[in-house]
Amino acid sequence: MIKLATPDGSTTVLLHACCAPCSSAIIEAMLANNITPVIYFFNPNIYPQEEYLKRKTEIENYAHRLGLEIVDDDYNYEAWRKGTCGMENLPERSSRCMYCFKMRLLQTARYAAERGIKYFTTTLASSRWKDFNQIIEAGRYATSQVEGVEFWEQNWRKGGLYERRNQLLKIENFYNQQYCGCEYSAKRVIS
């Protein structure tokens, strides 16, 4: 198992979670290293709402089985859609994705500050579909906007975590989506 520690040894981290499969190995690694994640589900980009509910239910069930706290923040797809207006035809890893990461991580940072949790991180940094550098930039942006919190920069694809994610996907029989969540990425998968 990968060795983990927050920069100052804090033992509670706010974990922005996009779905159960991407969260599972990260949560397992944190718990193995005496770090308790508070799972934060804020994903207004997920489309359609039925997909959002599937992902939300899956991560809630997993968190409850592990005895972990999960926070479900507002699903405001229309606000997300308004923010991405004009970016509909941009490819994955474009400025549309950067907007989406910044929006979600800024809200995560705000919630961390409200709760007095110094560090936050995201499961987005585990996805092979996402640009790791964009995620780091978005996390740093969120930190610059919210006092008293820090983005815990971790490449959650490394240290065997991506492989463990795939194992847990089968062991837990998780629902595993084939697109990031937004309607634009869904259209590319369908076509």
Examine residue 6 and state whether it is found in any structural domain, yes or no: no
157: domain CATH number?
3.40.50.620
Q: What total of structural domains would you count in the chain?
A: 1
| 5 contact partners, CB below 8 Å, separation of at least 6 | 33, 35
Whether the predicted pLDDT of 187 surpasses 80: no
pLDDT tens-digit map of 94-113: 899 999 999 999 999 999 99
Examine residue 69 and state whether it is found in any structural domain, yes or no: yes
d(CA 97, CA 182): 10
Average pLDDT over residues 4-21: 97
Q: 180 falls in which pLDDT band (50, 70, 90)? A: confident
pTM: 0.95
Examine residue 5 and state whether it is found in any structural domain, yes or no: no
**Structural domain of residue 156, as residue ranges?**
12-190
pLDDT tens-digit map of 81-97: 999 999 988 878 889 99
Examine residue 1 and state whether it is found in any structural domain, yes or no: no
Whether the predicted pLDDT of 190 surpasses 70: no
Q: What is the pLDDT of residue 189?
A: 53
Examine residue 2 and state whether it is found in any structural domain, yes or no: no
Examine residue 172 and state whether it is found in any structural domain, yes or no: yes
